[in-house]
Amino acid sequence: MIQSIFIENFRCFHKTDIKSLKRINLIGGQNNVGKTTLLEAILLGVNPSDKSVIFIQQKLRSDYGNIDSPELTWQSLFFNFNRKENINIMVSTAGATFGARFAVKDVKKKPGIVSQDNLIADETLLKVVDNSAEDETVQSSLVCYKIQPESGTSPAMRLEASKGKLKFGISGGLPTPIFFVTFIPAGFKPLPAAMADDFEKLRYRGQDDVILSVVRIIDPSIDRVEVFSFGSKKIHLQRKEQPFIPITMFGDAINKVVNITLKIANSQNGILLIDEIENGIHYTHQHAFWSLLFKVARKFNVQIFSTSHSLEMIRAFNTVAINEGLADDTQYIEMFRSARNGEIVGNMISHDTLAYSLVNNQTFRGE
Amino acid sequence: MAHTLLIVESPNDEAFFRLLIQTGQQPEITPIQDTEIEHLHNFVGTDGKEKRGKDALPEKLAVIKTQLSKSRPDIQHIAVILDADSPPSGGKQQSLALINQAFEKAFGVNTGFTELGQEVEKEVDLSGEMTLLKLSCYLTHDSSGEGNLDTVMKAIASKSCPESDCPEEMNKCVVGKTGKPMRDFTKQWVNYYVRSHASKKQLQNAEKRLHEVITDQGTNIFDLNSPLIAGIKSYLNQISGFPA
């Protein structure tokens, strides 16, 4: 479990130190204050891999690089787009401190014929371009250094952007992930077959009861959960004496809570990052949802970081944390830009103060 | 400009201390620092019940702490004035201990106040940013060293007032029959005294507007040169640049 994170020169973060993280962390704040970026930093800090970089750039930010000017490809990762200042992300657990440094190296080279690269996540970059007749171009690389205070800093992997393409030139081997990390983006709709696979993993381990429990929070009449593979593989839900219905025919809430619960249960000893957890979940179900989430996270030893704009979701989080005696296991973090020094801060608000703020209409979401 | 935030118990306290600061101002001689005053009323506890005065101080300080980085970067001094009250629930030591505990809980610092007017400088962690804050406190008290702002206001009332003098006779009668004064007599006495000087408009919602009477009529109905309030004026001078 990570206890603190230091972020330097990453996207909107100039220099931010967030301490006293707990098992379940709910993050609130105004738009564009860095809530999603904090999740990205956690991902890069504990798992600084090529996939993590491509995921946050392409899947989360729809930033596919710049195939005409490779030197611009990585700039959005850097504070104020300033590639000259390295990104540093340091993470501390109870027994260790580690992290990653990202830097850009530009090299001038003669272009050649560029072939399609199947590793790229989006087809907009899958171009075959003949640059051989052009002048010298820049190859811009994002170099990741693994930082471990005991053993120092060592280059771990490199992502190259050349004119016409983005490719992975991995040197030194990928860093070993410190934690298994899963990221659920805002508005993410899981693939039905992937959810079914996750459910079968749980069933294999005899731990699938938790899915029926979470489904019943939304619809207490549901009696059974099964996976059927004919047609297309999907989880199916059954109400008493009713036919099985594919989960995709139910609303967003059931799909969302099932997916989150599956990800927790299949991320044992890992970290789950959830952007905008409240999406689709009606406020009347939020208390029960948090209660179950707390239990499942403890059972599978998963640390959760989730963002939310929802007043009801924050209230439910705090109420359940207090009522179930989980103050030491849960934390609400208010993010805002400090009026004193302009830095983004993560303000740890105690359950008592949050409860007090909620009933007295005080501000606690960065206002 | 550097701000002092002064926290007091009630709207009446706020009006009275604001009056003392304003009447003491001599801007052409002494530069006056900007002092904000907030009271501890209109809060609801997490149990849904109203919470006010001393009971609300720890939560108030915790909320202020979150505001210092977010929206109140100019505040460099947090000052607290509470009633000294009387033992066993109050008194100087009990009230100072309550203030120390509230600062400890909200800011994680040991203020260690043992005397009225004591001021300490503490480095406070505001969401990862270490900030130097001045913290200080004072207890409103009468000549016995105990009491509250009501006992002080009653003592420095400068006008003859039948609306409060007659209840004084009634209280004497009650004391004669029961051996004890009427419950909250001093508070009621001040209430009658201030009400008797209210305008018609202020009487329309008197409970909520008595503090306006203190603001409007305070210099006429209280002896602001009384030695009894020399200590509090000195403290206000200390935190706001008010000339002693």
The ipTM assigned to this model is 0.78
Between A and B, how many CB-CB pairs are < 8 A? 75
pLDDT category at A110 given cuts 50, 70, 90 is low
pTM (2 decimals)?
0.85
Most B-contacting residue of A356, A361, A365 (CB-CB within 10 A), to test interface: A356
- B73·A338 Cβ contact <8 A: yes
**Å between B30 CA and nearest CA of chain A:** 28
CB contacts, 8 Å: B66 with chain A: 334, 347, 349, 353, 357, 363-364
Residue B158 CB-half CA count within 13 A:
10
- Here the tokens at position B183 are 């419950």
Q: Is A361 within 8 Å of chain B by CB?
A: no
pLDDT category at A59 given cuts 50, 70, 90 is confident
The interface residues of chain A toward chain B in range 13-32, judged by CB-CB distance below 8 A, are 16-19
User: Which whole-number Å values give the CA distances from A354 to A16, A59, A336, B7, in the listed order?
Assistant: 22, 33, 16, 20
Q: Which residues of chain B fall short of a pLDDT of 70? A: 1-2, 25-33, 206, 241-244
Of A339, A359, A364, the CB nearest to B69: A339
Question: B102: which residues sit within 8 A by CB, 6+ positions away?
Answer: B57, B58, B61, B80
Residue B92 CB-half CA count within 13 A:
12
What number of other Cβ atoms are within 10 A of residue B26's Cβ? Answer: 10
- A359·B129 Cβ contact <8 A: no
- Is the pLDDT confidence value at A95 over 60? yes
More confident residue, A152 or B93: B93
Amino acid at B72: R
Secondary structure (DSSP) of B82-116: EE---TTT-SHHHHHHHHHHHHHHHH-------ST
The pLDDT score that the predictor gives to residue A174 is 55
Q: In chain A, whose CA is at the least distance from the CA of B128?
A: A17
- Is the pLDDT confidence value at A56 over 80? yes
- B46·A356 Cβ contact <8 A: yes
Cis peptide, bond prior to residue B227, ω within 30 of zero: no
More confident residue, B181 or A153: B181
CB contacts, 8 Å: A352 with chain B: 46, 59, 62
Amino acid at A187: G
